[in-house]
Structure 1
Amino acid sequence: MSTAPINVAILGAGRIAVQMARTLAGMAADPRYRDLVAPYAVAARDADRARAFADEYGFPVSHGSYEALCADPNVDLVYVATPHSLHGEQGAMCLEAGKATLVEKSFTANAAQARELLAVAERTGVLCTEAIWTRYMPSRAMIDEIVDAGVIGEVRSIGADLSYPTTHKARMTDPALAGGALLDVGVYPLNFIDMAMRGRAPERVASAYQPYPTGVDAQSCTTLFYGDVMATATSSMVTTGDRMGVIRGTEGYLVVENINNPQRINIYDKDHVRVTSRTVPEQITGYEYEVASAARALLDGAAECPEMPHADTLRIMELMDSIRGIWGLSYPFER
């Protein structure tokens, strides 16, 4: 059984790894978290790069290979910070080594890989959870409370967008790395809608996309039908979007500023008058919630985190597969 503080390691040393490193450094200095988690190690395929990363962000240990990280007996929890196409293989490697695993979204490149990875987690009995931070943030409960209070009436429509120009990142345009907008930014609008619908599966899905010259999706629009509720998700890697999430009801609507990292929730009445506004709590980076949840689950001997159980991860992966199926888009390793 693991004991606190939980030693956290990062597998990968790219952009998202930097964000996690800053988060762990902040948690180590924060009285709310410093007895729970400790930044311990980072691994990269280049030993010098790993050492430089560790020195810059205050990790006492670095490894020049992912295998060495998995063999380190002092590692408790591994954050997988590599491209989507590698998550399944690398997540399984961590689990087989007995390391609890926090896998950056998208959990894997497709549902088949997700099932395989979750099967390894079940067989080994080791904690495995998806690191999609909005699922763990306090804003999720705040939105649910507003809707449950009946302030906006009966929910009938939902809209969510996340769009950033990101084609300058090589992995985003590379089909072999499961590039495209859907798995990187499109997953957030879909999760926003899924959370608003409390995990209810849509009865019908309609979608269209525009391809990037490399063949991956540049931008798309997806409409999901849930009985008398219609939800629309848009995402793009070639435009700047408003990042807004809107839940519309019979008596008003609420607007979430930035579904990727909610800052404020504004509530409007039928006359479009803002009746109240709620600000989310101050945070380190926003990543601390998923790390704390994984650490507590590990201490409790749990196999999954309550904020993002395996069933939710698999449902979103299956939904994204179905959307790509409508488009007729597959990745080279799927053919």
Structure 2
Amino acid sequence: MSIPSLPDALPAPRRPSPSSVPRLRWGVLGTGWIASRFVASLQASTTQRVVAVGSRTQTSADAFAGTSDIERAHPSAEALVADPEVDVVYVATPHHLHLAGALLAIRAGKHVLVEKPLGLNASEAQEISDAAAAAGVFCMEAMWTLFLPRLDVVRQVLDAGLLGHVRTVLADHGEHFDPPHRILDPAMAGGSLLDLGTYVTMLATWALGPATRVLATGETTGTGVNGQAAMLLTHAGDATSVLHSTLLTRTPTTATIAGTAATLTLPGPFFMPGDVVVTSADGSRSVTWTDPEPIGHGALFHSALEVARCIGEGLLESPLHPAAAVQSNLRALDEVTRQLGVTYSSTP
């Protein structure tokens, strides 16, 4: 295999512009932190329309609609998915409600974008994906990192073989949370793994393929959820990923994808907008792509643009994050939870 030398500049991202995709009418299921940031990102950076919100009570829906300038507020998930003015439903409920909310929208004939994780485990994710395929509607997990311009630069670096044979992924995601945050609540499928760990396992399985072996150790909080986990994954050809997630401490949140010819570094937080640095294996040369977008959740709109692009092209899943990739990630996490004795349950 001939390995290209490092270019003078890294490739420009190829993500769609807001004006190049169909203008869809969005309904948002859930009124929490991520829902508000998603709506704000769409309204600030796209021509997508958020036309309705659904919550468990009319009061909650009305309050969210009022602060987010949304036309209609529904007092239930059932009412939201029945709204004929909604094209696509963004499921922004807590993890344990993703399965029920996604299936409800799919059965109503709506396209769905489901906040990560798509399901609590690979089985739930498969059920959602299969239901969407059978119904002929689009379905995608909102793993927003994969749709950032930053990650498309990484994608092109990998596709061009600039790193040589990729052998190692290192990734870390740690934040500190205090009660009463839902991440500490076992009844809401809390813990570090589904909120934070999914980012690091996603990066590893995206860059190296499915895990063939998983070793994990971890710590449980006083509330009974996983506080932190250290994970060692083996992939095809004995490539290795070394991963860590924690909700107990703030960590560097950096990531590295290392090959025989060069090493790619994502300064923290690696899962948000930020720079891409590629350094030759001997350390003699380095080239950087500088992200013009500010770090933060204002970039959530990129996942919505991908949804609109795919629906406009008649696709039922995103080629950048298909059901098979979601399954690969969640199977690795399933084995981690098995080894750590972590269990989750969905709410019917």
Q: How does 1:38-53 map to 2 (within 5 A)?
A: 38-53=49-64
Q: Does structure 1 conserve the Cα–Cα contact (< 8 Å) formed by 2:273 and 2:299?
A: no
Matched, 1:193 2:204: yes
Q: 1:313 pairs with 326, 338, 342, which one?
A: 326
Q: Does structure 2 conserve the Cα–Cα contact (< 8 Å) formed by 1:80 and 1:103?
A: yes
Q: 1:324 pairs with 330, 333, 337, which one?
A: 337
Q: Does structure 1 conserve the Cα–Cα contact (< 8 Å) formed by 2:210 and 2:329?
A: no
For residues 127 and 252 of structure 1, what CA distance do their matches in structure 2 show? Answer: 37
Corresponding residue for residue 206 of structure 1: 215
For residues 59 and 161 of structure 1, what CA distance do their matches in structure 2 show? Answer: 37
Q: Does structure 2 conserve the Cα–Cα contact (< 8 Å) formed by 1:185 and 1:236?
A: yes
Question: Structure 2 vs 1, CA of residues 310 and 274 (structure 1 numbering), >3 Å: closer, same or farther?
Answer: same
Corresponding residue for residue 68 of structure 1: 79
Q: Does structure 2 conserve the Cα–Cα contact (< 8 Å) formed by 1:101 and 1:129?
A: yes
After TM superposition, the score normalised by the length of structure 1 is 0.90
For residues 169 and 296 of structure 1, what CA distance do their matches in structure 2 show? Answer: 38
For residues 332 and 18 of structure 1, what CA distance do their matches in structure 2 show? Answer: 25
Q: Which amino acid aligns with 1:212?
A: T
For residues 278 and 126 of structure 2, what CA distance do their matches in structure 1 show? Answer: 39
Corresponding residue for residue 234 of structure 2: 225
Secondary structure at the counterpart of residue 49 of structure 2: strand
Note the C-alpha offset of 1:281: 4.4
Q: 1:13 pairs with 28, 31, 34, which one?
A: 31
| Structure 1 residues 22-75: Cα deviation after superposition (integer angstroms, max 9, x where no partner) | 012113xxxxx42xx212111111212222221222211111211111111000
For residues 266 and 140 of structure 1, what CA distance do their matches in structure 2 show? Answer: 12
Q: 2:279 pairs with 253, 257, 268, which one?
A: 268
Q: Percent of counterpart pairs with the same letter?
A: 32
Q: Which amino acid aligns with 2:339?
A: I
Q: Does structure 1 conserve the Cα–Cα contact (< 8 Å) formed by 2:274 and 2:291?
A: yes
RMSD of the TM alignment (CA)? 2.1
After TM superposition, the score normalised by the length of structure 2 is 0.87
| Structure 1 residues 205-226: Cα deviation after superposition (integer angstroms, max 9, x where no partner) | 1111111122221001111112
For residues 180 and 283 of structure 2, what CA distance do their matches in structure 1 show? Answer: 39
Q: 2:306 pairs with 293, 296, 299, which one?
A: 293
Note the C-alpha offset of 1:333: 5.7
Corresponding residue for residue 165 of structure 1: 176
Secondary structure at the counterpart of residue 287 of structure 1: helix
Q: Which amino acid aligns with 1:239?
A: T
Note the C-alpha offset of 1:169: 4.6
Matched, 1:278 2:289: yes
Q: Does structure 2 conserve the Cα–Cα contact (< 8 Å) formed by 1:266 and 1:274?
A: no
For residues 212 and 177 of structure 2, what CA distance do their matches in structure 1 show? Answer: 32
| Structure 1 residues 235-267: Cα deviation after superposition (integer angstroms, max 9, x where no partner) | 000110111011123344221022220301122
Q: Which amino acid aligns with 2:318?
A: C
Q: Which amino acid aligns with 1:245?
A: A
Q: How does 1:120-135 map to 2 (within 5 A)?
A: 120-135=131-146
Secondary structure at the counterpart of residue 186 of structure 1: helix
Note the C-alpha offset of 1:153: 3.7
Corresponding residue for residue 195 of structure 2: 184
Q: Does structure 2 conserve the Cα–Cα contact (< 8 Å) formed by 1:222 and 1:232?
A: yes
Corresponding residue for residue 266 of structure 2: 256
| Structure 1 residues 89-128: Cα deviation after superposition (integer angstroms, max 9, x where no partner) | 1100011111111000011111221122222212211111
Q: Which amino acid aligns with 1:319?
A: A
Note the C-alpha offset of 1:274: 6.2
Q: Which amino acid aligns with 1:329?
A: V
Give the unaligned 5+ runs of structure 2.
1-20
Corresponding residue for residue 15 of structure 2: none
Q: Does structure 1 conserve the Cα–Cα contact (< 8 Å) formed by 2:211 and 2:328?
A: no
Note the C-alpha offset of 1:270: 4.1
Corresponding residue for residue 302 of structure 1: 315
How many residue pairs get aligned? The number is 323
For residues 47 and 120 of structure 1, what CA distance do their matches in structure 2 show? Answer: 29
For residues 85 and 156 of structure 1, what CA distance do their matches in structure 2 show? Answer: 35
Corresponding residue for residue 30 of structure 1: none
Give the unaligned 5+ runs of structure 1.
28-32
Matched, 1:85 2:96: yes
For residues 298 and 152 of structure 1, what CA distance do their matches in structure 2 show? Answer: 33
